[in-house]
Amino acid sequence: MHTRTTTDIQIAASAIRDGRLVAFPTETVYGLGARVGDSEAIKNIFIAKGRPPDNPLIVHVAEPSWIAGVTSSVSAMAADLVDAFFPAPLTLVLPKHPDISDNVSAGLKTIGVRMPDHELALAFLKACGEPVAAPSANQSGRPSPTTWEAVVDDLGGRIDLVLKGESPRFGLESTVLDCTGDHPVILRPGSVTLEDLRLVVPTTRFAREGLDSTAGSPGTRHPHYRGRAKLRIVDVATRRISTNRLAYIGLDPPTVPDAYALVHVADTVDRYARKLFSFIRQCEKEDMEELHCQRVGESGIGRALMDRLSRASVAD
């Protein structure tokens, strides 16, 4: 299969309606979309990505009114969150509508729903005319793609089309929030932070490992974000240099700059987060053996960044 690219949402929407897989940009990362009602196409998403079958897909909507078509009920608490945030890098886990195939939810009775805050993504979804299920458009276990080129690197020859658009503003995947209980539980931290959510629902909290939410966020159990360079979290750029193919990303310039063949210094945590996945891929292209990532404080977006870093890192 030859993977085409386009900037035309009508071409992309008509491919989706024909049952094809289309990657599209959002404000977080590129997604790999299929019609939510097309179980053959949904199956093909899992095949194209090599995705474990127990990992549910997020459903993307063009407007809040579409949520009723994929859920069986929306609590007052969930409705408040929709009103306050959508469109946003925020996925709400809600009770699944019985008409939505178990393929989409990987057998769960719940469904993750989000409305991306990205003009082209919304126009594309509107043109599709119905919700689009989409995981991140990477090969399973690899860093999420933040450019169309990264999508083609991972999935070229396995998917039909990439809709090219403005690069994601956030660069880390959405916050996943379980709204099926009495209070919201963050299953995956993202750019909509605990602090943001508490302004609307003060009892919001993080999932406690192994304790909360029946299935938790199944995706967080699988290996993630592996590039070919070994990733280590460091407090300051270290002197323990084991290779000359060493890269660094962080907020502070490395104290031993000569040690690094490739360096990216970000001036804010947001910019660090936006750069991380593409930097991991760049390290790979430039044959780095090891990547040192500076630790950041775990408040705000720092929590999401540290979550991705710790899941991508190798143990010492």
| Residues at the interface with ligand TXA (CB under 6 A) | 26, 28-29, 31, 55-58, 89, 91, 93, 105, 108, 110-112, 114, 134-136, 173-174, 176, 187-188, 215, 217-220
Here the tokens at position 216 are 């938790």
CB of 80 to ligand TXA, least distance (A): 20
Contact 236, 255 (CB under 8 A): yes
Contact 64, 125 (CB under 8 A): no
CB of 108 to ligand TXA, least distance (A): 5
Q: Where are the beta strands (DSSP E) in 44-128?
A: 58-60, 90-95, 110-114
Contact 241, 259 (CB under 8 A): yes
By C-alpha distance, which of 142, 164, 163 is closest to 153? Answer: 142
CB of 30 to ligand TXA, least distance (A): 7
Q: Label the pairing between strands 22-24 and 31-35.
A: antiparallel
Partner touching 191 among ligand TXA, Mg ion, none, CB below 5 to 8 Å by kind: none
CB of 55 to ligand TXA, least distance (A): 5
| Closer to Mg ion by Cβ: residue 136 or 180 | 136
Give the binding-site size for Mg ion (rule: CB under 5 A): 1
Per-residue binding string, Mg ion, 113-152, x by CB under 5 A, is -----------------------x----------------
Phi/psi-derived region of residue 107, left when phi > 0, alpha when psi is between -120 and 50, beta in every other case: left
Q: Is 73 exposed, middle or buried (0-12, 13-18, 19+ CB in 10 A)?
A: exposed
| Closer to Mg ion by Cβ: residue 110 or 138 | 138
CB atoms within 10 A of CB 310: 14
Partner touching 33 among ligand TXA, Mg ion, none, CB below 5 to 8 Å by kind: none
| Closer to Mg ion by Cβ: residue 9 or 45 | 45
Contacting residues toward Mg ion, per CB under 5 A? 136
